[in-house]
Copies of this chain bind each other. A is one copy, B any other.
Amino acid sequence: MENKQIIFKGYIDRAPQITDMELKITNISTSELVETMEDGAVMVKNLYLSCDPYMRGRMRDFHASYIPPFRPDSVMEGFGVSRVLHSKNEVFKCGDVVTGMTGWEEYSVIHNTAQLRKIEQDPDSGNDPIPLSYYVGLLGMPGFTAYAGFYEVCSPKTGDSVYVSAASGAVGQLVGQLAKLHGCYVVGSAGTSHKVDLLKNKLGYDDAFNYKTEPDLNAALRRYFPGGIDIYFENVGGPMLDAVLLNMAIHGRIAVCGMVSQHGMSSWQGIHNLQTLIAKRVRMQGFLQSDYLHLFPRFLEDVAAYYMQGKIVYIENMNEGLESAPAAFVALFSGGNVGKQIVCVATE
């Protein structure tokens, strides 16, 4: 049986390019694979793979981070939704749909099953089921990043003025909608007029702007936030962060989630306006969703309910076929995708 795989070619110190990965076709024998599987392992067919910015950090030869780098000449890995084909694990049965870390390939053997989660769908609920791909987006790591970052790091209050950069992205689109549900005034920015339109007309933002066509980010933020920004959900870094620092309200909070504009830089751009942290008494806090996993069950319940009640929506950018994964991943860093980037490897 053929197994298509996406291989990571080697460490880089710049923005990822398609040629940093390559497609490889291996022949595998299912029976041999299953024989050599350790107790506790499962063999899966991958259905949906998630492209996330943090993965770029795994392409550097840097071993002191919170997650180890990819191994050169090995299969890429990331969050995925998969169907169990063979199981040597009591928790997962053949036919189960699971989500967790898997390989960028058609078939994977997953040994670290402690991080796998079974997706339970209730066919008798009378509702349309939640799309399986949402379990690596709205109901997966990006959604949980938005949830933990907004509720646990931003200390939101009703009436707060909230600014979200990369606002239509996998994380940003949920942050904005949670903030609206919390009674905040919410403005987002993105890099195309199409995304700005989505923010205003589909994702419920009070207002939105295209940062690429604003000649002066400081002036733009002053226009949208004449009373200052209470909460900034920081996804991009660079000149946008500097402009935000000039526009924070007293006792404002900045949740530092990502600085995606800096991913391509071998040396990071300087931030010049940190002194405003003092006069405005601003709290700026970096966070990782993994510190809040005790809240994951509540998150799943809350956000799935919001979705089923039609209170939130989620926009995906779905690429078809494993072959499209390198291009889909690279597009994260140029803003080429709209919404959460997913690769569909197979539908069942």
Contact = CB atoms under 8 A, between A and B. Distances in A.
Nearest to A283: B285
A237 B277 CA distance: 12
A231 B268 CA distance: 24
Contact of A282 (B65, B274, B286): B286
Interface stretch (A113-121, A185-193, A251-259): A251-259
A288 to B, nearest CB: 6
A124 interface: no
A291 interface: yes
Contacts of A270: 269-272
Name the residue among A65, A241, A278, A284 with the largest chain B CB count within 10 angstroms. A278
B281 A284 contact: no
A272 B271 CA distance: 6
Contacts of A259: 274-275, 278
Nearest to A62: B279
A266 to B, nearest CB: 12
B275 A262 contact: yes
Contacts of A285: 277, 281-284
Contact of A274 (B267, B271, B283, B288): B271
A288 B284 contact: no
Contacts of A65: 279
B267 A272 contact: yes
Contacts of A268: 272-275
Interface in A63-97: 65-66
Interface string A159-189: 0000000000000000000000000000000
Contacts of A277: 256, 284-286
A314 interface: no
A276 to B, nearest CB: 8
A281 B274 contact: no
A283 B283 CA distance: 7
B291 A286 contact: no
Contacts of A256: 274, 277-278
Nearest to A263: B275
Contacts of A66: 279
A253 to B, nearest CB: 9
A287 B252 CA distance: 11
Interface of A: 65-66, 237, 241, 256-259, 262, 267-288, 291
8 contacts: A258-B278, A259-B275, A268-B273, A271-B271, A278-B288, A281-B291, A283-B284, A283-B286
**4 A-B pairs with least C-beta separation:** A270-B270, A277-B286, A278-B286, A283-B285
